Amino acid sequence: MARPLRDVSISKSALARNPFGWAPPLTFAIFVGPILLGLFGTLLPSFGLQPALGQFELSLNPWCAFLSDPALVKSLRLTLTVGFGATAIAVIIGFGSVATLYGTRAFAVVRALLAPALAFPHASFAVGLAFLIAPSGWIARLLSPWATGWDQPPDLLIIRDPDAIALMLSLALKESLFLILMIVGALGQINAGTMMRSARSMGYAPARAWLLVVAPQIYAQVRLPIYAMLASALSIVDMAIVLGPAAPPPLAPMTLDWFRELDTARQLMASAAAIFQLLLVIVAILLWRLGETIVRQSMRGLLTSGIRHGWSERIVGSVGKVGIAFALVASLGAILMLIFWSFAGTWSWPSALPEQWSTAMWVRSVDTLAELVGRSAIIGIAVSAVATALTILCLEAGVGRSTPRWLAILYIPLLVPQISFLFGIQLLWNRLWLDGTVVAVALTQLLFVLPYVFLVLSDPYRALDPLIAIAARSLGASRVRTLFKIKLPLLARPVAGAMAIGFAVSVGLYLPTMFAGAGRIDTLTTEAIALASGADRRQAGIIAFALTVLPFMALALVNLAPNWERRTSR
């Protein structure tokens, strides 16, 4: 038969009877609609079409202006350094560390530290780290002047270096933690133990065995998250503002600067730059794929070479071990700095600790803090609840049962540079008279929260034994009743977990909040970035600390859930 008739008829009749059939189109509308409109709203101005600014003539001027910008070449170089550098280093650290630590006691420690480290938003991490490593920062203060002889902070290029090395390394450390968590998740889906045992029995060194046999299968599982990492590293804004160079900055912050200019030509140019970044990410992912092929080919040689141990796995392993140690130390150090500063009275160079401790800033910030925490939490709860509900309804309606094609669409907001469709989305909200409202912020955040919730929830959902639901249905329970009385109680933990992840993502979103909020809706993240560049470190410390605690609390609540479950089920 030419076409798979069976498939189609099943899905159609199923939708006709399925009371949740309306959920996928609704999700589709909320999800793909704004992205498409957003991309269009960015694409048209890049060719000179911007009715809101009175521009109706098709022209290439924005592109010419962008491509002839004097800072473009340098800025592009910085972008590529950060994008490829940070992603490659994160991959090496991620795979190298798991390869050497897998199965050891140290790995258990790393695993336990992963979740809190991941709850640490990029913005807070950057603020804390900047103070840790700056020439006038904590490490320098600890050693000065007794060991270094510095009675003034040294004039050293450590952060904001013109080649963005500091930004690249910090991002690599931060992303490596995310990748390790992904690798750990993927390990649960393949039979790594058996493969390791047979490779070991043939005399392969443990790390080499892991890298040659297990890693390729893991890589296939974590490929999409790695692409998402690459895309976000190429378009990073929040960490770049704190740790990156300013003259020129990488492409994404430079585009933001242009977009904020009240000059029509400059804004059209910003649109061209945003579309350019979309193309850049596509090319970068293709290049990365090419790199994958090259690595795979060279690995093939290693597989058949018969060599069972050598220097290569030791190097990768050491880089991994050192990298993960740095990543954890940097995260801990950064959060320590935030806490120190939030309780500092005066703290001047070269004192290693504040000269006076004080709660004055906490007392003074209590109103602002309450307002920001409240707003961030309300948006986060609303967005994660809606995302979770939509995900459950879509899964009930059968989305993703046949092929994982939907996965690609879900990943769009994670793979496409945010800046390339947020411009357009801002115009959309403006047209709808919604910009600068909490509703617009929540709807925009949903685009970035829904993918994570879907990814976290869909596997446990589909892993649920279908016989349980069938039994309930055959006893006469409706689909809706089966969902609420049988499935959801059984899935309480994954559902809560997905909500917590959604909440953490929502709280940490910077650009979507900034664009949809039109400067009127401040959340902990926008405030942390606004304060990060140097206002009052004590205030920045408080905000960034709160920003860290909020998602952490959400994740901690979920981890407390099993006890609660057991107690009530008795």
Site string for another protein, 108-137 (x = CB under 8 A): --------------------------xxx-
Residue linked to tokens 């992840």: 501
In whole angstroms, how close is the CB of 24 to another protein at the nearest point? 5
In angstroms, the CA 126 to CA 331 distance is 9
Q: Is 349 in the site for another protein (CB under 8 A)?
A: yes
Specify the stretch interacting with another protein by CB under 8 A; choose among 45-53, 103-111, 413-421, 480-488.
45-53
Applying CB under 8 A, does 149 fall inside the site for another protein? no
Is 238:122 a contact under the CB 8 Å cutoff? yes
Is 375 within 8 Å of 523 (Cβ atoms)? Answer: yes
Q: Shortest CA distance to 336 belongs to which of 545, 555, 122?
A: 545
The yes or no reply on residue 288 touching another protein (CB under 8 A) is no
Q: Minimum Å distance from CB 230 to another protein?
A: 23
Name residues whose C-beta falls within 8 Å of residue 503's C-beta, 6 or more positions apart in sequence.
380, 381, 383, 384, 551, 554
Q: Among 122, 174, 375, 537, which residue sits at the site for another protein (rule: CB under 8 A)? A: 537
CB within 8 Å of 477: residues ≥ 6 apart: 485, 486
Crossing angle (nearest 10°) for helices 438-463 and 418-431: 120
Nearer to another protein, 317 or 400 (CB): 400
Return the range that interacts with another protein (CB under 8 A); candidates 46-54, 228-236, 465-473, 488-496. Answer: 46-54
Q: Choose between 87 and 144: whose C-beta lies nearer to another protein.
A: 144
Q: Are 206 and 193 in contact (CB under 8 A)?
A: no
User: Is 127 in contact with 544 (CB distance < 8 Å)?
Assistant: yes
* Binding test (CB under 8 A) with another protein, winner from 6, 16, 149, 155: 155
CA distances from residue 230 to 67, 89, 182, 250, 353 in whole angstroms, order as listed: 23, 11, 15, 14, 38
Cis preceding-peptide flag for 350 (omega within 30 of 0):
yes
* Smallest distance, another protein to C-beta of residue 301, A: 38
State the first-to-last Cα distance of the chain, in angstroms, to the nearest integer: 55
User: Per-residue contact track with another protein, 507 to 526, x per CB under 8 A?
Assistant: -----------xxx-x---x
Q: Does 46 bind another protein (CB under 8 A)?
A: no
Among 60, 64, 67, 71, binds another protein (CB under 8 A): 71
CA 277 and chain centroid, separation: 18
User: Measured from the CB atom, is 94 or 424 closer to another protein?
Assistant: 424
Is the Cβ–Cβ distance between 404 and 464 less than 8 Å? no
Chosen residue from 434, 486, 553, 555 binding another protein by CB under 8 A: 434
Q: Could you say whether residue 160 binds another protein (CB under 8 A)? A: yes
Strand partners for 50: 55
Q: 438-477: which residues touch another protein (CB under 8 A)?
A: 439, 443
Among positions 157, 220, 352, 353, the unique one binding another protein when judged by CB under 8 A: 157
Binding test (CB under 8 A) with another protein, winner from 109, 257, 291, 295: 257
Cα separation, 167 vs 126, whole angstroms: 9
User: Is position 296 an interface residue for another protein (rule: CB under 8 A)?
Assistant: no
Q: For another protein, which residue of 47, 48, 74, 491 counts as binding (CB under 8 A)?
A: 74
The amino acid present at 568, given as its one-letter code, is: T
Name the phi and psi angles at 432, rounded to 5. Answer: -85, 5
User: Using CB under 8 A, which residues numbered 49 to 68 contact another protein?
Assistant: 51-54
How many CB atoms are located within 10 Å of the residue 370 CB?
11
| Interface of this chain with another protein, residues 358 to 397, rule: CB under 8 A | 364, 368, 394, 397
Q: Binding of another protein at residue 213 (CB under 8 A)?
A: no
Using CB under 8 A as the binding rule, whether residue 352 contacts another protein is answered as no
Q: Does 534 bind another protein (CB under 8 A)?
A: yes
Residue from 116, 185, 398, 460 touching another protein (CB under 8 A): that is 398
When asked if residue 19 is in the footprint of another protein (CB under 8 A), the reply is no
From 79-87, 254-262, 270-278, 475-483, give the range in contact with another protein by CB under 8 A: 254-262
Angle formed at CA 232 by CA 289 and CA 381, multiple of 5 degrees: 130
